[in-house]
Amino acid sequence: MTTAARFKPDTLERLAAAGLNADRLPAHVAIIMDGNGRWARRRGLPRVEGHRRGVKSVRATIEECCALGIGQLTLYCLSVENWKRPQAELDVLMTLLQQYLISERAEIMEQNIRFTTIGRREGLSAEVLREIDENIRVSQDNTGMTLCLAINYGGRTELVDAMRTLAEQVKQGKLDPDAIDEALLNDALYTSGMVDPDLLIRTAGEMRVSNFLLWQISYAELWVTDKCWPDFDGTTLHDALRDFAARERRFGGL
């Protein structure tokens, strides 16, 4: 069965309207949502207004990925480095995150989305953790797109935590150090059980990966737009997907 054969007719129609081919879609799209502050500054607004406007882009992007039949969408919401920001901004970010988790719960269920997160729980408020856990619980049996939010996440931190997990197994005599290979390390990551991203999108024109999914994006295609995240929309997503479809992926081969 071809990839296209597994898609609903309305999904195929939407793909065709966007100039996309179901057989050339990435299974997993990851996005570094950058530029909220710059978007606000250029308009003479406080940085927090950029974050508020960015929530609308999150909603629109999730809806479009669902409509196009993308298997997984991972969004970089809060990095471990972001804790260096002013406390007032962090307070707003936590409030927005909590509100989003509550307000989008019905949409998650309506769209048949399976919700999950990656990152360290330490440092997140009890209120945010409660809403994260509730969204995971109510959506665990959903069969549509997986929505993964990277919250308090860092690629190096993830690798450290994975190494600690494996080291503890060695210490307890449950694991032979010589048995450690890529597969075991992969299973110890936050993303265990997920497919690696095929496409990494970054907004605001920055040409770096910013400690995001360092292990998982080894063979991902990178796509950067100068648009700040609040200006990211379905048309921009389609541009990224068409560019991805036109690339030849060799994975180190010829």
Residue from 146, 168, 154 nearest 215 by CA: 154
Residue from 244, 156, 250, 149 nearest 198 by CA: 244
Q: Are 190 and 212 contacting, i.e. CB atoms less than 8 angstroms apart?
A: no
Q: Check pLDDT > 60 for residue 2.
A: no
Residue from 169, 109, 95, 173 nearest 138 by CA: 109
pLDDT (average), residues 222-231:
98
Does 34 participate in catalysis according to the annotation? yes
Confidence tier at 251 by pLDDT (50, 70, 90)? confident
Q: Check pLDDT > 60 for residue 46.
A: yes
Tell how strand 146-153 and strand 221-224 pair up.
unpaired
How does pLDDT run across 50-74, given as a tens digit for each residue? 999 999 999 999 999 999 999 999 9
Residue 184: which residues within 8 A CB-CB, separation 6 or more?
166, 175
CA dist., res. 216 & res. 74, Å (int) = 12
Two tokens, residue 83? 């804790």
Q: Check pLDDT > 70 for residue 100.
A: yes
How does pLDDT run across 114-167, given as a tens digit for each residue? 999 999 999 999 999 999 999 999 999 999 999 999 999 999 999 999 999 999
Return the pLDDT at 152. 97
Q: Check pLDDT > 90 for residue 254.
A: no
Which listed residue (21, 82, 142, 211) is catalytic?
Answer: 82
% of the chain with per-residue pLDDT over 90: 92
Residue 153: CB atoms within 10 A of its CB come to 25
Q: Are 203 and 228 contacting, i.e. CB atoms less than 8 angstroms apart?
A: yes
Which listed residue (10, 21, 23, 34) is catalytic?
Answer: 34
CA dist., res. 151 & res. 162, Å (int) = 17
CA dist., res. 60 & res. 202, Å (int) = 16
pLDDT (average), residues 213-226:
98
Q: Are 227 and 236 contacting, i.e. CB atoms less than 8 angstroms apart?
A: yes
Mean of pLDDT over the chain = 95
pLDDT (average), residues 1-26:
85
CA atoms within 13 A on the CB side of 222: 17
Q: Check pLDDT > 50 for residue 1.
A: no
E strand or H helix at 41: helix 36-42
Confidence tier at 3 by pLDDT (50, 70, 90)? low
CA dist., res. 50 & res. 43, Å (int) = 10
Letter for the amino acid at 119?
Answer: G
Fold of 23-154+196-242: Undecaprenyl pyrophosphate synthetase (3.40.1180)
